Amino acid sequence: MSRLRLVVFDVDGTLADSQAEIVAAMGAAFAGESHDAPDRAAILSIVGLSLDQAMARLAPHLPPARQARLVAGYRQAYFEQRRVNGASPLYPGVRALLDELAHDPFLLMGVATGKSKRGLDALVEAHGLERFFVTRQVADFHPSKPHPAMLVAALGEAGVRPRDAVMVGDTSFDMEMARSAGVGALGVGWGYHAPETLVADRVVHHMTELPGAVTWTLNLKGENRS
């Protein structure tokens, strides 16, 4: 009998190209504190972390109270952008990818993201992705990546063993989280961290490679995980 398997996707930089919104909201947050914003590369380097961790890295010299105000300012700015401009676009090929994977009745899908529940729900609803994901793990309820809590929760909700799961993401935080949780680590090269920084079982550079890479990773690593 075939056993259930699980593929968990990161969102920003993996499924959705949200860098313009992230950079703009970060600029607004820092402007609200009368502080120069970090450059684009620095901002993209923290994508995937929970906001409190992100601000601590971007503004380590500021006291916690001001970092907290940056978090609040970012959230408000991002919300306003979404209200005016709509949700971040999906990368080309994402819909076809999810449709293809959904044809396998033994392959479940989920997400693990540094987004808030409100942000993820808005993105999923805007693009009509509700039917694809059996588990949605967000920053509201877990420690920041790379802590494995989101993946542990996803495995529990899906009823899948670590050896039968793979994490797909674009950052080193995703790959480290995968290793900590004992699941496969599949990197994508179109996101916000340089592909050569991803310590992964495999890194792909085109969306069309992902279905085969998911199967490859699960088959290769399954016997080596508990």
Active site residues per annotation: 10, 12
Would you say 146 and 171 are in contact if contact means Cβ atoms under 8 Å apart?
Answer: no
**Cross-strand pairs, 49:** 47
Q: Helix H segments across 7-148? A: 19-32, 40-45, 51-58, 64-85, 94-102, 117-126
Q: Residue 209 has which token pair?
A: 């490679």
The tally of CA atoms less than 13 A away on the side-chain side of residue 96 is 8
Q: Residue 98 has which token pair?
A: 């999810």
- 3-state DSSP: the chain helix, strand, coil percent, rounded to 5? 55, 15, 35
Phi-psi region of 89 (alpha: psi -120 to 50; beta: other; left: phi over 0): beta
Would you say 24 and 81 are in contact if contact means Cβ atoms under 8 Å apart?
Answer: yes
Amino acid, single-letter form, for residue 226: S
Would you say 170 and 190 are in contact if contact means Cβ atoms under 8 Å apart?
Answer: yes
The Cα–Cα gap between 7 and 134 comes to 10
